[in-house]
Structure 1
Amino acid sequence: MSADALNRAALPRLAEELRPAVDPAELRPRVVHFGIGAFHRAHQAVYTEHAAARSGEPWGITAVAPRSTETVHALRRQDCLYSVTERRPDGHRTRVAGAVVGALAMAPDAKAVDALLVAPEVTVVTLTVTEKGYHRSTSTGGLDTASAAVAADLAADPDGPLGTVVGRLAAGLAARMRAGAPPISVVSCDNMAGNGVALARVVHDFVRASPWPDRTEILDRMSDTVAFPATVVDRIVPATSDADQVAAVAALGVHDALPVTGEPYRQWVLEDSFTAPRPPWELDGALFVPDVAPYQLTKLRLLNGSHSALAYLGTAAGLATIADTMAADWGERLVRALCAEVSPTLPARGPDPVAYADDLVVRFRNPAMRHLLRQIGADGSVKITERWLPALRELRTRGLSTPVLELALAAWVHGTGRDDAPADPAAGALAACWGPATRPAETVRALLRVLGAADLADDDALTGAVADRLPALRAGRIEI
């Protein structure tokens, strides 16, 4: 006989330590979150639930899925409950999370999403839509209005379905400005340098490019009432596997269609520039600081940069997970060498790079984690533009050697030419850089130009060094 489904009616049958930290029935939709994936459910939603439980304030989240209606329906069937399992070397710990109180699909539920964005009791919007969800121009950093998806949204009825999160958010904030609703804070939780400024720019660019006759007034009101705090989020959350589904049933005694798992470690650093009430996330350990840049750059260039390097090198070596790469004789050396190479580009007032590298080695080695290299390697044309290239430019401008970044870049180049290349929004342009008669250095130059890195493409020493690494990688050898 199959287990009953996880829902609110099933909660009283669960052991106390398995139940949510707060009664979901006592929460109200005061936060809107775009991006309904595993990371949000294992990170911001956990912080929000604990903040609500410890403060007694009813901070509930309505999660909006930009694309996946399947996840929305699955959450609704479970009264928006799901389990979070910490993968610990000494044994897993599972608990049901209860902060999500509503689930919407962005296009089909456009009117409901806009109603929430206008609602006075909603004072925080958060986003985890990945770097590509911002539709930024690689040349300007602003909104890519030439993107077909953005152009379609600019031409569409703003009250109807829109295809991009930027468009939906801009339209909702415009409606809020017109309604004279209270201030609101919009918080990017994606891995981008200066994510708050980046989000503010694309939203403002959308309004500016819109045909709305009151766009100037909307922008003026937004400057006074909408804040875009920068943040740094950190927790390794692997894609959910079939084994995770089975383990969740075993732990709970009921069927959970949407379990998520993560490492024990989690961190959230936020710029203390909110203009409206927010959950007291600091009650669960979140850190509010005047400037997140030192934390952001450290995380982006050391953790995310190492993750991408391990993903592409591990794939070249025929491995499957981060833990596999750390079990290889080159894994720890790669992480420590990359951190040491990049550390001169980090602000002095940030975390200590050596201690940070020590923590990364412990986290990445966790045998209970199975973080897939293909998951980490996806969307590389967007990710490495943020994670590697700025540090690479700075180091080379200063005349410093960059052998580890060159090796990592070579592994990415190698991956773009494989038949099983990871999913990437620029897949067509990347594949076109490979030709049977094209010399390796020319391929490297062409790929860098696809990334918008013409300056690096013109660096003959760099492109030659990267090309020289390719034969070993094709043979599955990782030479550090």
Structure 2
Amino acid sequence: MKLNRQNLDQLPAYIAKPSYAACQLRQGIVHIGVGGFHRAHQAIYTEALLNQGRDLDWSICGVGLRAEDRAMRDALAGQDYLYTQVVLADEPDTEVRVVGAISGMLLAEEGTQTLIDKLAHPSTRIVSLTITEGGYCMDDSTGEFNFKLPQIQHDLQHPGDPRSVFGFLLAALAKRRAEGTGPFTVMSCDNLPHNGQVTRKALLAYAGLVDEELHGWIAEHVSFPNAMVDRITPMTSTAHREALLAEHGVEDAWPVVCEPFLQWVLEDKFVAGRPAWEDVGVQFTDDVTPYEEMKIKLLNGSHLALTYLGFLKGYRFVHETMADPLFVRYIRTYMDEDVTPQLAPVPGIDLDQYKDTLIERFSNRAIADQLERVCSDGSSKFPKFTVPTINRLIEDDQAMDRAALVVAAWAVYLRGVDESGATYRIPDPRANYCEELVQEQKNLTERLLGAEEIFGKHIPKSAAFVAAFERQLYNLRTHGVSATLQTLLGD
């Protein structure tokens, strides 16, 4: 059965469906970057409210700024902007739900002014973002906005025809200010420490280059709540589509698959209203920092710690890696000994239980999370997920070999060949640059750790860390992944 509004009533009764009609919805959120995570996270919380007959003026208009976003728009548009969420767990019962919270999608390439007008319309009260860690145009070595990037240079020269997210936000806010519409809330849903603060800093830095008065207006009136977001969402594969059709009879051009776990901790800083997300499980707080630190250092940091090692070993899925007891012991020891001592108390969270849950989530066979997904964009992930942990270990004069192994594994991974001799691509926007860092063995340590935009200033100056890195790099090259882990764990 092809997924669309006309066929909804013919789907099996056990498949949850929207309880509202499309004509009841009005768009209050514009979301830039419609991918799997947004459709399995923010859209699901919003869907839960819509299904209660509430907040029907908060449906979502998706936005694509890249040429690649056309495929998502066309897939959704071809089925009345419905899509299927499949929640996968090792238990036999699979939750299948049709979601309609996204009620339209615009592409920048089909009309720059149309998109600016949508962002500037009074009904748009929240602009949310999932644009990846690298999408915020920040120089990780300095912590400052990188105005030299080509898309930013283009927007500075052509402010009426922007390409970047910040160019569009600024053009829309300028229009709203001129027309007296008032500000909207800019809400990042990306895995960034202090993501709201990062978004604010980036937009204000860009605005300062364009219009000083507008910069001041944004600084005073626009809000940027910080958020901690969490749900493992693998890339949708052909196998996922085929399984949905074979097992449930739903023909969906782009379903989303995800784990059962779902969490969103959000600062309650909204200048133009918001949905009542607290009634469907969102935790609002005055300070999201301890939740951010916990999630980014434990979940995202541990993901990086296992992913490159697992890929080198020849595994291709996270659950395969977690079926290896060596990896489980390594990850849990990394969490317990290296990360947990750095964390402040987290209100309402038992850290030991949280770590147990992470092991269970990583071990979920049904979700079949791809290591390639977790490996991707390592040059942007390291500064945010791993480098802060290493810097703290250096500062506290702690053991560094477990953390150094994460970096050493990435260095070997960047060669593009695993232990069995299989070759693979490096999914990173800066892949060529990263591969050049490890191309020659001579002076590799200096080149790699000296990449300031990735590893900062402190790591290459730490003799203890450099020694630990070279020790683990030697072990991986000479003895392989398993023997290296065994030695590190004291076997």
Q: Distance in 1 between matches of 2:183 and 2:14?
A: 37
Structure 1 residue 75: Cα displacement:
1.1
The equivalent residue for 1:134 is 136
Q: 1:31 to 1:396 in 2, by over 3 A?
A: same
Q: Does 1:163 align with 2:166?
A: no
Of 305, 314, 318, the match for 1:318: 314
Structure 1 residue 8: Cα displacement:
1.1
User: Is the 1:240–1:260 contact (alpha carbons within 8 Å) kept by the matching residues of 2?
Assistant: yes
* Residue type of the alignment partner of 2:89: R
Structure 2: runs of 5 or more not aligned = 418-423
The equivalent residue for 1:46 is 44
Structure 1 residue 185: Cα displacement:
1.0
Of 10, 13, 27, the match for 2:10: 13
The equivalent residue for 2:386 is 388
Q: Distance in 2 between matches of 1:245 and 1:349?
A: 39
User: Is the 1:327–1:365 contact (alpha carbons within 8 Å) kept by the matching residues of 2?
Assistant: yes
Q: 1:390 to 1:353 in 2, by over 3 A?
A: same
- Paired residues for 1:255-404 under 5 Å: 255-340=251-336, 341-350=338-347, 351-404=349-402
Q: Distance in 1 between matches of 2:318 and 2:439?
A: 31
Structure 1 residue 400: Cα displacement:
1.6
Of 422, 431, 455, the match for 2:426: 422
SS in structure 1 of the partner of residue 243 of structure 2: helix
The equivalent residue for 2:78 is 77
State the Cα deviation string for residues 339-398 of structure 1 (Å, max 9, x = none): 111112211245333221111011111121111111111110110110011121112111
Q: 1:40 to 1:470 in 2, by over 3 A?
A: same
Q: Does 1:172 align with 2:172?
A: yes
Structure 1 residue 16: Cα displacement:
4.3
Q: Distance in 2 between matches of 1:471 and 1:437?
A: 11
The equivalent residue for 1:115 is 117
User: Is the 1:46–1:97 contact (alpha carbons within 8 Å) kept by the matching residues of 2?
Assistant: yes
Structure 1: runs of 5 or more not aligned = none
User: Is the 1:85–1:93 contact (alpha carbons within 8 Å) kept by the matching residues of 2?
Assistant: yes
Q: Does 1:223 align with 2:219?
A: yes
User: Is the 1:54–1:283 contact (alpha carbons within 8 Å) kept by the matching residues of 2?
Assistant: no
User: Is the 1:69–1:105 contact (alpha carbons within 8 Å) kept by the matching residues of 2?
Assistant: yes
SS in structure 2 of the partner of residue 64 of structure 1: strand
Q: Does 1:193 align with 2:193?
A: yes
Structure 1 residue 221: Cα displacement:
2.2
Q: 1:182 to 1:51 in 2, by over 3 A?
A: farther
User: Is the 2:401–2:472 contact (alpha carbons within 8 Å) kept by the matching residues of 1?
Assistant: no
Moved more, 266-275 or 396-405: 396-405
Q: 1:167 to 1:452 in 2, by over 3 A?
A: farther
TM-score (norm 1): 0.94
SS in structure 1 of the partner of residue 311 of structure 2: helix
Of 456, 459, 463, the match for 1:460: 463
Q: Distance in 1 between matches of 2:469 and 2:266?
A: 37
Q: Distance in 1 between matches of 2:439 and 2:100?
A: 52
The equivalent residue for 2:235 is 239
Q: 1:294 to 1:423 in 2, by over 3 A?
A: same
Q: Distance in 1 between matches of 2:54 and 2:406?
A: 47
* Residue type of the alignment partner of 1:389: V
State the Cα deviation string for residues 117-141 of structure 1 (Å, max 9, x = none): 1111111111101011111112332
The equivalent residue for 2:420 is none
User: Is the 1:444–1:463 contact (alpha carbons within 8 Å) kept by the matching residues of 2?
Assistant: no
Q: Distance in 2 between matches of 1:449 and 1:223?
A: 30
Q: Distance in 1 between matches of 2:87 and 2:305?
A: 25
The equivalent residue for 2:54 is 56
User: Is the 1:52–1:279 contact (alpha carbons within 8 Å) kept by the matching residues of 2?
Assistant: no
User: Is the 2:20–2:53 contact (alpha carbons within 8 Å) kept by the matching residues of 1?
Assistant: no
Moved more, 279-288 or 219-228: 219-228
The equivalent residue for 1:89 is 90
State the Cα deviation string for residues 372-429 of structure 1 (Å, max 9, x = none): 1111111101101100111211121111222221111111121123253522222232
* Residue type of the alignment partner of 2:280: D
Moved more, 434-443 or 260-269: 434-443
Q: Distance in 2 between matches of 1:102 and 1:411?
A: 42
SS in structure 1 of the partner of residue 141 of structure 2: coil
State the Cα deviation string for residues 186-229 of structure 1 (Å, max 9, x = none): 1000011110000011111111112xxxx222222223331000
Q: 1:339 to 1:22 in 2, by over 3 A?
A: farther
User: Is the 2:186–2:225 contact (alpha carbons within 8 Å) kept by the matching residues of 1?
Assistant: yes
Q: Distance in 2 between matches of 1:404 and 1:356?
A: 21
State the Cα deviation string for residues 50-94 of structure 1 (Å, max 9, x = none): 122235221210011121212111111111110000002123211
User: Is the 1:149–1:164 contact (alpha carbons within 8 Å) kept by the matching residues of 2?
Assistant: yes
* Residue type of the alignment partner of 1:8: R
User: Is the 1:50–1:283 contact (alpha carbons within 8 Å) kept by the matching residues of 2?
Assistant: no
Q: Distance in 2 between matches of 1:407 and 1:119?
A: 50
Structure 1 residue 174: Cα displacement:
2.1
* Residue type of the alignment partner of 1:467: E
Q: 1:303 to 1:452 in 2, by over 3 A?
A: closer
Moved more, 20-29 or 185-194: 20-29
SS in structure 2 of the partner of residue 422 of structure 1: coil
**Total equivalences in the alignment:** 470
The equivalent residue for 2:209 is 209
Structure 1 residue 331: Cα displacement:
2.4
Q: Distance in 2 between matches of 1:24 and 1:231?
A: 29
Moved more, 37-46 or 117-126: 117-126
Q: Distance in 2 between matches of 1:217 and 1:196?
A: 22
Q: Does 1:145 align with 2:147?
A: yes
